[in-house]
Amino acid sequence: MANRERWSSRLVFILAAVGSAAGLGNLWRFPYLSYKYGGGAFLLPYFIALIFTGVPLLMLEFALGQKFQKGAVGSFEKINKKFSFVGWSALLTGFVVIAYYAVVMAWSLFYFFVSYGVKWAGDPENYFYHSVLGLSESINTIGGINIPLLLALVGVWLMIYFSIWKGTKSVGKVVMVTMPLPIILLVVLLGRAFTLPGALSGLKYFLVPNFRALLDTEVWLAAFSQIFFTLSIGFGVMIAYASYNEKHDIRKNAWHVALLNTFVSILSGFVVFGTLGYMALKQGVGVDAVIKSGPGLAFVVFPKAISLMPLPGLIGILFFLILISLAIDSAFSMVEGITTVILDKRPNYKREKVTAVVSAVGFLAGIIFVTGAGLYYLDVVDHFVTSYALVIVGLIECIAIGWFYGTKKLLKYIESTAKKTSWITKATWSFSIKYFTPAVLLWILGSQFMKEVRAPYEGYPLWALAVGWSIVVLIFILSFFLPKDGSE
């Protein structure tokens, strides 16, 4: 154990963890959620979710990794031999997510290369869905494999591989660039947007609070789900990263990561709404008419807005560089979560080889998403995995610690890493892990499920929804069959 790999400094650990947290979720989801759910008022449920479930769970994952000096599976095994499945289900969930997350990066890489010619100008919507994706008419028609995107996907996986092939050493170097870079570029785009007319009126959609929105439970649901995904909780990533620390102040680490990640979200909100404000003004419409979330925002609305700006080629390159550099450290953190566990179990395996195999499998799993129906598959898989698998993983993590291991023991460890006792943590942490967070997660699961029963997700055919459900079920069945005991 003494010769476990280490991060070269606390700063590097924080950058890696924030790098994992800050990703597409911050740029293309958070701003939209704010707009949709009460503008500035959304910050209230957001911070409540952050403080009462996000930070406590982050502390839990950091504490597990650091105390037991193992990745997700080994840590849960130390609690109880029977709990390896908790760790495995987290990793399998992460594996599915990385398979399509890398594909979104492949689109970004593709756009990055065509930016200088502003190829999308004119009709960005048609360009994205038809020229780039070659989207088939429905999920029933799979179409062929899209070769340019497949090549971009190879490129993305090579970037992922070479970021982590030497473990903490190479990750440490990469995050020194990929963490500050998107922030600097976001600030550049912020400057660009706010020196153009209309930006301020766009900002109103993001910031003017509508407190009445908070009466709707859906707003709260959205806030809690967002916190989960955005902090990379429940994927075994934060456990793996913390296992390369010796004795860090866990409370401090969790707060720093949570707040820095929030900073990236809010900064992104300014950039998105500033830019859309300008675009809306140019087109003589309201921001309501142009706003979208997800791929539509990044690959249709933004390119459109950029094409209306001076120097669109340059701004395009900057924007897609932001997407890539923001997403890459999230992507490789999921792979690292998996390789950490394999190396815990088989310490004599070579890290480079294990990483290569995991990357190759991840690439192969992603091929379905670069077919003609790729975007539909991506949408369905993302929906089921993040609405169900991820939430269930969080729930069983809380139950394993709260009800089996005992929150007192872990809290004692957390406090032992800090100089001073925090009375607030002492008073609230156990309650959050044992009762509050599981209750919230059950509520999310229940209401998601009810929604599902009422109307099939996005009107997809039954077989497609069955595929989504099967992936969720398979994750949990498989996790019971994966290796239980380490060779340690």
Percentage helix, strand, coil, to 5, in the chain? 80, 0, 20
DSSP-based three-state secondary structure for 371: strand
For residue 208, give the amino acid letter.
Answer: V
Q: Which is nearer to ligand PHE, 258 or 370 (CB)?
A: 258
Instruction: Give the interface with ligand PHE as residue ranges (CB under 6 A).
Output: 20-21, 23-26, 94, 97, 229-230, 232, 235, 237, 330, 333-334
Q: Residue 228 CB, nearest distance to ligand PHE (Å)?
A: 9
CB 260 → ligand PHE: shortest distance, Å? 12
Helix boundaries (H) for 115-179: 124-126, 147-164, 168-178
Cα angle for residues 339, 340, 344 (degrees, 5° grid): 115
A 10 A CB-CB count for 54 gives 29
> 3-state class of 3 per DSSP?
coil
Query: 264-297 burial by CB neighbour count: b if 16+ within 10 A, else e?
Result: bbbbbbbbbbbbbbbbbbeeeeebeebbebebbb
Which residue matches tokens 């560089």?
321
Q: In whole angstroms, how close is the CB of 265 to ligand PHE at the nearest point?
A: 9
Nearer to ligand PHE, 27 or 287 (CB): 27
Task: Give dist(CA 336, CA 331) in Å, integer.
Answer: 9
Question: Of 12 and 281, which CB lies nearer to ligand PHE in the complex structure?
Answer: 12
Q: Which residue has the tokens 């866990």?
A: 250
**How far apart are CB 460 and ligand PHE at their closest, in Å?**
23
The answer to whether the CB of 1 falls within 8 A of the CB of 69 is yes
- Name the minimum Å distance from CB 324 to ligand PHE: 13
Nearer to ligand PHE, 174 or 280 (CB): 174
- Considering the complex, state which of residue 66 and residue 232 has its C-beta at the smaller distance from ligand PHE: 232
Nearer to ligand PHE, 235 or 388 (CB): 235
Shortest gap between Cβ of 409 and ligand PHE (angstroms)?
27
